Homo-oligomer: A and B are copies of this chain.
Amino acid sequence: MQYSQLSTRICVPYAVSLQPKTTWNSPKFNNEKSVGHCTRVPRNVNMEKLQSGYLFPEICMREFEHSQKYPQAGLIRLGVGDTTEPIPDIITSAMAEHAHALSTVQGYRGYGAEQGNMALRKAIAETFYRDVGVKADEVFVSDGAQCDISRLQMLMGPNVSVAVQDPSFPGYIDSSVIVGQSGMFQDENGKYENIVYMKCGRENNFFPDLSNTSRTDIIFFCSPNNPTGYAASRQQLKQLVEFAKANGSIIVYDSAYATYISDESPRSIFEIPGAKEVAIEVSSFSKFAGFTGVRLGWTVVPEELLYLNGFPVIKDYNRIVCTCFNGASSVVQAGGLACLSKDGYRALIAVVDYYMGNAGIIADAFTSLGRKVYGGKNAPYLWVHFPGMSSWDIFSEILEKTHIVTVPGRGFGPGGEEYIRVSAFGQRERILEASRRLKNLYK
């Protein structure tokens, strides 16, 4: 079958597939004259500021090398947070039906609206924002949250100041570096000079100390947080919105894991009164619907959100979407609409519950080792503390002894040191096997 010809990310890490690596790592690179024709185009100074490899390809590479070394070890991947369970049939059938229709005169459609099909924009508004007054026109459908974050960075441009949670998903900082907001990387503290790192550790219950946080134009805030798994409470988000309002900041709120929230924590920043004047929300079908490879997300830009000069942010964002993007795949959007049907949504919540069952099993395993485990209650990630240890060392030890891939906390910022992130995405049988191996880690 054709899908079997499609390689997945874990099988062909780019750095491995792109041979010969020596093209740019060889001595030739140190001697410009010997590399043949060079253009006179300067390398983008912002690209030069990026540190080492992007985290997940790096993990992918180490995973690949490990599996080459131990081909029979039965590697268990709890690293990159990649969904593993089949997508409910009601959803894939909608995609298949849409695809087949494209072969008919009646069903063929070309370009869709750049902002997404109105039926899907309405369904997103009604499903996720019914009680908070987000309109369909404020919802921009996309090919995923990571892509939207970069589009938002293009929107904001190089001359804004930025704050991020520390630790947080590396895409915020890396895209910030690429558009030129970050300043230089400082080896002494592992931070970019112009980025404000809001420490979110066990000391402050994984919520930043806003009274000691400098004002920035943009505040990236992810809740439930990737990697800590911590969902901010209503009271905390009220503080955040007040802080943004007092400072005239814009919050870019990433709610990609909101459907995993099991307690009363808000699932959207727009549950907080006044948030529409200070926040953009980015979200995704990836983890909620198993769409990591299918690609679908959305961004809400409220009409009330205004720049300093009173100009509506939504108008510029619309321009970005029309110029730099051209709409999510129509086939995929048909699947997204099915996700939000009554039966589709119910089926997906069952999958979410399944992953959260996994989270409990893994949490128990680490707890049995005497480790303090955070997260795993409102998010499919566990954030496990190894006091005094380097996170890459923890990563390597666990990989070597148990053949389980995790993510070193350091990959999410300096505040991630001493931690690893463990993903709860996995088939139950593999999760149980991981649990058995982990329990024997120190035996």
Contact = CB atoms under 8 A, between A and B. Distances in A.
A97 to B, nearest CB: 6
A201 to B, nearest CB: 26
Contacts of A95: 95-96, 99, 331
A63 interface: no
A164 interface: no
Counted per complex, copies of this chain come to 2
A335 interface: yes
A37 interface: yes
B318 A18 contact: yes
A218 B95 CA distance: 40
A5 B334 CA distance: 9
A84 B111 CA distance: 10
B118 A7 contact: yes
Given A108-B85, A323-B174, A277 B37 contact: yes
Contact of A57 (B85, B304, B322): B322
A436 interface: no
B41 A99 contact: no
B157 A47 contact: yes
A114 interface: yes
Contacts of A180: 157-158
Contact of A3 (B24, B31, B97, B304): B97
27 contacts: A2-B334, A3-B334, A8-B110, A9-B327, A14-B113, A14-B322, A18-B137, A18-B314, A32-B309, A37-B304, A40-B217, A40-B249, A41-B250, A41-B308, A43-B307, A80-B111, A86-B102, A87-B103, A87-B108, A92-B103, A93-B100, A110-B290, A110-B293, A150-B323, A150-B324, A171-B323, A178-B323
User: Ordered nearest first, which 9 A-B pairs have the shortest CB separation?
Assistant: A40-B248, A44-B157, A150-B324, A96-B96, A82-B110, A95-B99, A293-B330, A43-B307, A110-B292
Interface of A: 1-9, 12-14, 17-19, 23-24, 28-29, 31-32, 35-47, 50, 54, 56-57, 80, 82-89, 91-105, 107-115, 117-120, 137, 143-144, 146-147, 150, 154-160, 171, 174-175, 178-180, 217-218, 244-245, 247-250, 274, 277-278, 290, 292-295, 303-312, 314-316, 318-320, 322-335, 337-338, 425, 427
